[in-house]
Amino acid sequence: MPDTPAPTLSSPSTAEEADTDDALLEATRTAFGPRGALARQDSGYRQRPGQQEMAEAIADAIDAQAVLMVDAGTGIGKTFAYLVPALLSGKRVLLSTATRQLQDQLHQRDVPRIRQALGSDAAVAVLKGRANYVCPVHLSRALRDGRFRDPQIPARLRIIERFAAASRVPVINGLTNEYHPCQILADIFTYMEHRGSIQGKTVAWVGDANNMSYTWVQAARLLDFQVHISTPPGYALDDARISDAERKHLRYFEDPREACAGADLVTTDVWTSMGYEAENEARAAAFANFCVDEQMMALASPDAVFMHCLPAHRGEEVTAGVIDGPQSVVWDEAENRLHVQKALLEYLVIGRVPT
């Protein structure tokens, strides 16, 4: 292969930057050497002058607390050039990436490899939106009962509630008793990841008519697919909450096996949602024939997938053979909650979908 052009380095120099400690520079130079940590880990490792020059310049900049601009082309090995001195420095380092693909590459592949090679125990985290969840049921109960050590806390919480009511910024429904759009976004993304477009497909919902089922009906209208709903008597959807447009994408079934027949996606949830724990025994009896089992999945399309928003109760709403079987994609579904919510935040912040 032809030699890769060396990177162009530009760093302002001042008198205050003189006499910096060379320990980081030497450690970086050693790591990239022919007998260094990278070579010991990977027998195919070869020194690249451009990569080493860039790494040493970054080590110098970290030591001197200086600004460094690097213009490096493809093939330099940029990620290792900045990750090695960053990890060797022992300092807190923030890396900003332009794409999710590079972020995933750094966090899932490059950083673990370099940490192993260097024997580093540095903690690494992907920075993302974080939230403190306050359960509305527990909050209202606490406000009513006054169970706070600090008497100022109830007043502060009411201020937060008033502020949220008057806010004009986007409000994301992470979960309510009525709808669960964030979960359905992740479920649809998971289906697309495994099977392609969901348009024209059939989703079978077996179990309680809860927030998940209502949101599946909303999504069916928006993305043009069908939803089969099968619930026990007394636990059906409230027809008053279903619009005429949504009704065109919805079919009801008394027998859950009929609902699953030919379905492309079979999904369910726990029989007793939060706030209904007092109904556990009654629901267990009512839902006894609504456990998604191997027979139901056999009636679905041959390439159908099974989903559950988790946590699941094996032997209740789904058998172990189904949720742990080859048609189950529940772990990809759970992981995709992170990726879809990051995409949702990005969309709300920039107001468009990048192309």
Q: Could you read off the pLDDT tens digit of each residue along the chain, which spans 355 residues?
A: 344 556 665 544 433 333 445 899 999 999 999 999 999 988 888 888 899 999 999 999 998 989 998 888 778 889 999 999 999 999 888 888 877 778 888 888 999 999 999 999 888 888 765 555 666 666 666 667 766 666 776 777 677 677 777 877 777 888 888 899 999 999 999 999 999 999 999 999 999 999 999 999 999 999 999 999 999 999 999 999 999 999 999 999 999 999 999 999 999 999 998 778 899 999 999 999 999 999 999 999 999 999 999 999 999 999 999 999 999 999 999 999 999 998 998 888 777 665 5
* Pair of tokens at residue 224: 């043009």
Question: How many angstroms from the chain centroid is the CA of residue 20?
Answer: 42
Angle at 64 between CA 61 and CA 66, to 5 degrees: 55
* Pair of tokens at residue 310: 């988790």
pTM: 0.62
**What distance in Å separates the CA atoms of residue 324 and residue 299, rounded to the nearest whole number?**
18
| Cα radius of gyration (the chain) | 27
Question: How many angstroms from the chain centroid is the CA of residue 73?
Answer: 31
Diameter over CA atoms, the chain: 82
Q: Are 147 and 179 in contact (CB under 8 A)?
A: no
Cβ neighbours, 10 Å, residue 52: 21
The pLDDT of residue 7 is 64
CA nearest to 246, candidates 226, 232, 231: 226
Question: How many angstroms from the chain centroid is the CA of residue 18?
Answer: 45
Q: Is 119 helix (H, G, I), strand (E, B) or coil?
A: coil
